[in-house]
């Protein structure tokens, strides 16, 4: 399905950066700042050619979006490629600011990919899906041109199921929101994709591009950076010449037993756990920890839950008897698990933004490759009204999913739903007084393979689900073999 049909394009750099003057936008970086750091009054539009296509992933069911942007400043005699897998579950344009801008400004072609984990929303009620450039259309009409269609539709194309009506890649067995083996292989394979398009574009000039005369640097951040790291490990053809990644979400197998030093040279033992282990623990305790007096001045601390503290105490997970002490105890649990105290000030803001709550759901679904029909821990995605009751997705939100959604609810009018809420399904944050602690504990149990309240081993269906999650985690553990290529990692502490 891959081809080199191209079009003229301009690129505006924005995503995963702080687009405000206070964050350095427009003075330290941004479209108007040249490659050498000169601040101009230009809009910064970069002219060139864009090639975009789907490629089938594992089992011929996954649509992996591949895109190559070639700036007009590209020099055939000094050819270079920057690979730019999008982070997390963002779409194919999600790495423009993290890797694409640098590459285009330096005259390199940029090979973008969503790794097969990009945003894809199948609206089961309105029966619409996205095409490769983001247009919404009827799922049956889209056919193979859809970037994601849920695999459990009826012959008519519609699927009868209770609200909420959104099926997403994280809640189906065909695509995932984490850098699985597929993402690494696709990132590696795309290192050679621009060469095919260039050989078409520059045909007749006596120029042929291959790994011997083209520099390839694998890059990006977060899950995109992790995919680039894994791509180097899978690079049997030696296509990649260098690696430059920021905060890559990657776990090296041998790192689990290594000894790290934290601030002041003190030993730091709580490290190198899978992200789902951290995020599900935070999902349980942060709502209470945000209420700690020490966190009172934290930015965006608007979602602290004294009811969450009380419920944690009632379940025996906190021993303190007053809200302030319970919150301080919850904060201590989070820090002892490996989150540095210096990070406490930003954690309430992440809780307010629903980061850990949503990621815990999407990662559990993705690692275990569960279907939305599995109703994992009673969660699903859907549009809701002001009272949190599921309903149809607004047409405006639906039209903007491709451009505005990062794949993690709440996003583009789509929220996380507690299907087991008293009185019927309801938006998760509004579903119970303690902000749905029971479902958070369900996810925590799956992540650690034992009951999050009693500590007892799981059995039956719960044990089998936890095993599926464990297998998914093991599949993305990195070897650390970077084939001796020059590598730069930029990251902070946990």
DSSP for 402-420 reads: HHH--SSSSBTTEEEEETT
Extract the tokens encoding 115.
Answer: 């790794």
If phi over 0 gives left and psi between -120 and 50 gives alpha, with beta otherwise, what is residue 77?
alpha
User: Does residue 410 have a cis peptide bond before it, meaning omega lies within 30 degrees of 0?
Assistant: yes
How many other C-beta atoms are found inside a 10 Å radius of the C-beta of residue 474? Answer: 12
Q: Is 222 a catalytic residue?
A: yes
Extract the tokens encoding 432.
Answer: 């119970």
Q: Find the length of the chain.
A: 494
Distance of CA 330 to the CA centre of its chain: 27
Q: What is the Cα–Cα distance from 43 to 39, expressed in whole angstroms? A: 11
Q: What is the Cα–Cα distance from 405 to 396, expressed in whole angstroms? A: 13
Q: Which of 328, 247, 349, 252 is nearest to 285 (CA)?
A: 328
Residue 138 vs residues 8, 86, 157, 158, 359: alpha-carbon distances, Å: 28, 26, 9, 10, 29
Supply the pLDDT for residue 120. 81
Supply the pLDDT for residue 21. 87
Supply the pLDDT for residue 184. 42
Q: What angle do CA 214, 219, 220 make, to 5 degrees?
A: 145
Q: What is the Cα–Cα distance from 358 to 88, expressed in whole angstroms? A: 12
Give 246's strand partners: 221, 490
- Active-site residue identified among 79, 89, 222, 305: 222
If phi over 0 gives left and psi between -120 and 50 gives alpha, with beta otherwise, what is residue 4?
alpha
Instruction: Note the helical H segments in 122-173.
Output: 139-142
Instruction: Collect all residues with Cβ–Cβ distance below 8 Å to 155 and sequence separation of at least 6.
Output: none
**Domain 6-118+177-251+483-490 top-level CATH class:** alpha beta
What is the helix (H) or strand (E) element at residue 280, kind and residue range?
A: helix 275-289
Place of tokens 């944690």: 312
Give 109's strand partners: 81
Q: Which of 424, 11, 371, 460 is nearest to 175 (CA)?
A: 371
Q: Where are the domains of the chain?
A: 6-118+177-251+483-490, 275-475
The alpha-carbon radius of gyration of the chain (Å, integer) is 23
Residue 147 vs residues 132, 298, 395, 437: alpha-carbon distances, Å: 6, 40, 19, 34
The alpha carbon dihedral of 149, 150, 154, 159 has a sign of: negative
Q: Which of 361, 289, 365 is nearest to 328 (CA)?
A: 289
Helices first, then strands: H and E counts in the chain: 14, 18
Q: What angle do CA 85, 86, 88 make, to 5 degrees?
A: 125
Q: 184-212 burial, b if ≥16 CB within 10 A, otherwise e?
A: bbbbbbbbbbbbebbeebeeeeeeebebe
Q: What is the Cα–Cα distance from 180 to 184, expressed in whole angstroms? A: 7
Residue 246 vs residues 305, 347, 359: alpha-carbon distances, Å: 33, 20, 20
Q: What is the Cα–Cα distance from 126 to 357, expressed in whole angstroms? A: 27
Supply the pLDDT for residue 116. 82
pLDDT, tens digit only, all 494 positions of the chain: 334 444 444 333 335 778 888 888 899 888 999 999 999 999 989 999 899 988 876 655 568 899 999 999 998 888 899 999 998 888 889 888 889 999 999 999 999 998 888 888 888 888 889 999 889 999 889 988 888 888 775 544 333 333 334 544 444 332 223 333 344 444 444 555 566 666 666 666 666 777 788 899 999 998 899 999 999 999 988 999 999 999 888 877 655 556 665 555 555 666 778 889 999 999 999 999 999 999 999 999 999 999 999 999 999 999 999 999 999 999 999 999 988 899 999 999 999 999 999 999 999 998 998 888 888 999 988 899 999 999 888 999 999 888 888 888 898 899 999 999 999 999 999 999 999 999 999 999 999 999 999 999 999 999 999 999 999 999 888 888 899 999 999 877 64
Q: What is the Cα–Cα distance from 310 to 145, expressed in whole angstroms? A: 50
Instruction: Note the helical H segments in 341-394.
Output: 347-352, 355-368
Residue 491 vs residues 90, 148, 199, 245, 246: alpha-carbon distances, Å: 20, 32, 37, 9, 6
Extract the tokens encoding 288.
Answer: 């209470």
Supply the pLDDT for residue 9. 40
């Amino acid at each position: 399905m891959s081809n080199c049909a191209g079009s003229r394009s301009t690129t505006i750099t924005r995503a995963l950066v702080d687009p405000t003057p206070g964050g350095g936008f427009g003075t330290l970086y941004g479209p108007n700042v040249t490659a050498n750091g000169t601040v101009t009054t230009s809009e910064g539009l970069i002219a060139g050619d864009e090639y975009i296509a789907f490629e089938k992933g594992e089992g011929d069911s996954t649509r992996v979006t591949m895109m190559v942007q070639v700036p007009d400043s590209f020099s055939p005699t000094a050819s270079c490629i920057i690979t730019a897998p999008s982070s997390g579950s963002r779409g194919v344009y999600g790495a423009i600011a993290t890797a694409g801008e640098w590459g285009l400004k330096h005259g390199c072609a940029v090979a973008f990919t969503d790794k097969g984990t990009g945003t894809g929303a199948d609206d089961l009620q309105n029966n619409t899906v996205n095409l490769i450039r983001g247009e919404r259309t009827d799922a049956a009409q889209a056919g193979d041109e859809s970037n994601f269609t849920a695999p459990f539709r009826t012959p008519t194309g519609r699927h009868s199921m209770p609200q909420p009506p959104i099926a997403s890649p994280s809640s189906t067995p065909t695509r995932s929101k984490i850098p699985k083996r597929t993402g690494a292989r696709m990132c590696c394979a795309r290192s050679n994709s621009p060469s095919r398009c260039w050989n078409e574009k520059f045909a007749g000039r006596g120029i042929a591009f291959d790994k011997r005369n083209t520099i390839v640097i694998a890059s990006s951040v977060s899950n995109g950076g992790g995919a680039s790291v894994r791509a180097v490990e899978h690079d049997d053809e030696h296509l990649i010449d260098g690696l430059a990644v920021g905060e890559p979400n990657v776990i090296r197998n041998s790192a689990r037993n290594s000894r790290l030093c934290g601030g002041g040279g003190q030993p730091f033992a709580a490290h190198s756990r899978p992200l789902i282990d951290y995020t599900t623990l935070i999902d349980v305790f942060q709502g209470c920890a945000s209420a700690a007096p020490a966190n009172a001045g934290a930015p965006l601390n608007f979602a602290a839950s004294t009811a969450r503290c009380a419920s944690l105490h009632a379940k025996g997970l906190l021993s303190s008897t007053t809200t302030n002490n319970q919150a301080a105890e919850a904060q201590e649990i989070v820090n002892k698990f490996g989150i540095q105290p210096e990070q406490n000030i930003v954690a309430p803001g992440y809780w307010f933004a629903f980061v850990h709550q949503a990621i815990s759901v999407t990662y559990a679904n993705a690692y275990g490759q569960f279907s939305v029909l599995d109703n994992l821990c009673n969660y699903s995605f859907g549009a809701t009204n002001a009272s949190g009751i599921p309903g149809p997705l607004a047409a405006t939100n639906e039209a903007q999913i491709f451009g505005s959604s990062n794949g993690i609810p709440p996003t583009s009018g789509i929220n996380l739903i507690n299907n087991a809420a008293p009185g019927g399904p309801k938006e998760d944050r509004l579903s119970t007084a303690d902000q749905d602690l029971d479902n958070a504990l369900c996810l925590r149990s799956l992540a650690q393979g034992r009951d999050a309240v009693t500590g007892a081993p799981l059995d039956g269906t719960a044990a089998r689900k936890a095993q599926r999650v464990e297998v998914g985690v093991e599949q993305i553990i990195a070897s650390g073999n970077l084939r001796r290529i020059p590598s730069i990692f930029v990251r902070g502490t946990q």
